[in-house]
Amino acid sequence: MDSQTTAPADHGVTVEIIDTPSLGDRSYLAHDGEVAVVVDPQRDIDRVLQLAEEAGVRITHVFETHIHNDYVTGGLALAEVTGAAYHVNADDPVSFERVGVRDGDVIEVSPAMTIKVIHTPGHTLTHLSYALSSRGEAVGVFTGGSLLFGSTGRPDLLGPAHTHELVHHQYASAQRLKDELPGHAEVLPTHGFGSFCSAGSSDGVTASTIEQEVRQNPAYSLDEETWVEQTLAGLDAYPAYYAHMGLANSAGPDGVELTPPEPADKDVLAERIQAGEWVVDLRNRTAFAAGHVTGTLNFGIDGQFSTYLGWLIPWGTPLTLLGDTPEQVAEAQRELVRIGIDELEGAATGTPEEWTDDELGRFDVAKFGDLSQVRHHRTVQVLDVRRAQEFDESHIEGAVNIPIHDILRRMDDVPEGELWVHCAGGYRASVAASVLAAAGKHVVAVDDSFGNAEAAGLPLVPND
């Protein structure tokens, strides 16, 4: 589920990267072989503790670049467990004790490591970046949601009243980082790897420096007004669960216990589905389409599980998980606590035949070539569940667009008849198809890349 890679050691300091692909984020552990700092840790801090143990280092400082919008932090819990100093912007209105830091502060971590605080507003008003130096020479900068790979953090998460101010701050912050740091300094962002906190795409880039960003990042190649205009025009919807993250992080979230949920048998599952609770099947979309318990929803653990489940589920809805194995359920549980879903009603593992006595639900899976052929023979409805901005750029002629995050509230807008549901790659289409199938719709899930649609003979048009 999570990969761990190591940034190259430089000047006696090593930066370890802790990836969380499903949320598109990174956390960092930087050490000199004896002591370590951690930047932007997520809720499941056992990953950080294990990494520190493997490196043989002691965590003495924890830093937050900002009050996060897309996940629940593990910073306070990590500081309490390790006895580390917990550094948060002194101007952030939080409900817990921390070491308040401000622009220009310098923290001597060890003779080999120094952290300088740089105020870089834009993603939030109080956003900070942390320049890492070793024996007086800059090694890198932890940029959080400020400067990303080929992009910046989005400026609209605090609401429309602050967006215009923040987008100009974001541009100025990017210039400041360029001016204050040497070109060889590594850029070490928290967001930008698929996170909806990014205002653009990193296009698969996994490492960068200030010098590289000056060459490739529009924040440096465009004048301010052009960049602001393009950035604002590129903003699209972001997950609904973000509304809960800032409040949780300002309150000081506790650590988590990943105790396995209570087993649920077929009778209990039937009762929960009948009661309108969410029973979520974690298996991949091919397996789900081939046979599933009627009324269950498919959020495969092999995709952006927590992002899309957190986006669609009415907050507080009782949730039960179904998986091939206990390990699959445990992985999903870990994903969920990262966004503040701590309580599960239960879980079941095995096969759909073990989860119900009723006939299994099924729907067809197809490619865009199949859709092209079918349209010659009978009338079908094409439902595009990509975001509006994706749809506007290009879509299949005659398709209806209901973005996946709107599917539950816009059920009345779903066309009648045979629905061929597609997205950009197949994951969102399966989620939407499962929601529609649970509502009794006749669906076919298109499990294909949208890039294949035109070659398959489907006419594409931009939105008028």
Per-residue confidence (pLDDT) for residue 4, from 0 to 100: 52
Cβ proximity of 366 and 420 under 8 Å? yes
Per-residue confidence (pLDDT) for residue 110, from 0 to 100: 95
CATH fold match for the domains 4-251 and 364-461: no
Residue found by looking up tokens 């489940």 in the block:
309
Q: By three-state DSSP, how is residue 353 classified?
A: helix
Q: What distance in Å separates the CA atoms of residue 245 and residue 70, rounded to the nearest whole number?
A: 6
Per-residue confidence (pLDDT) for residue 200, from 0 to 100: 72
**CA 206 vs CA 5, 25, 120, 302, 386: distances in Å:** 10, 12, 22, 21, 26
Per-residue confidence (pLDDT) for residue 67, from 0 to 100: 97
Which residues share a beta bridge with 319?
278
Q: By three-state DSSP, how is residue 357 classified?
A: coil
Per-residue confidence (pLDDT) for residue 8, from 0 to 100: 47
Q: What distance in Å separates the CA atoms of residue 51 and residue 58, rounded to the nearest whole number?
A: 11
Q: Which stretches within 140-223 are classed as H helix?
A: 160-180, 210-216, 218-221
Neighbours of 231 (CB within 10 A): 23
Select from 3.60.15.10, 3.50.50.60, 3.30.420.10, 3.90.1170.50 the CATH code of 4-251. Answer: 3.60.15.10
Q: Per the structure block, which two tokens stand in for 241?
A: 């669960």
- Of the candidates 129, 39, 127, 126, the one whose C-alpha atom is nearest the C-alpha of residue 91 is 126
Which DSSP category does 24 fall into? T
Task: List b or e across 446-461, with b for residues whose CB sees 16 or more CB atoms inside 10 angstroms.
Answer: bbbebeebeeeebeee
Cβ proximity of 70 and 102 under 8 Å? no
**CA 152 vs CA 191, 197, 209: distances in Å:** 9, 9, 14
Annotated domain spans of the chain? 4-251, 266-354, 364-461
Q: What distance in Å separates the CA atoms of residue 15 and residue 37, rounded to the nearest whole number?
A: 9
Q: What distance in Å separates the CA atoms of residue 236 and residue 276, rounded to the nearest whole number?
A: 30
Per-residue confidence (pLDDT) for residue 463, from 0 to 100: 57
Residues of the chain with confidence (pLDDT) below 70: 1-11, 201-203, 463-464
Q: pTM of the full predicted structure?
A: 0.93
Establish how many alpha carbons lie within 13 A of residue 49's alpha carbon, considering only the half-sphere containing its beta carbon: 15
Per-residue confidence (pLDDT) for residue 3, from 0 to 100: 43
Select from 2.60.120.10, 3.40.366.10, 3.90.1300.10, 3.40.250.10 the CATH code of 364-461. Answer: 3.40.250.10
Per-residue confidence (pLDDT) for residue 202, from 0 to 100: 66
At 146, give phi and psi (nearest 5°): -95, -100
**CA 133 vs CA 12, 97, 103, 145, 381: distances in Å:** 10, 27, 16, 20, 58
On whether the 266-354 domain is CATH 3.20.20.10, my answer is: no
Per-residue confidence (pLDDT) for residue 204, from 0 to 100: 76
Per-residue confidence (pLDDT) for residue 2, from 0 to 100: 53
DSSP states along 299-314: --TTSSHHHHHHHHSP
Cβ proximity of 321 and 337 under 8 Å? no
Cβ proximity of 362 and 286 under 8 Å? no
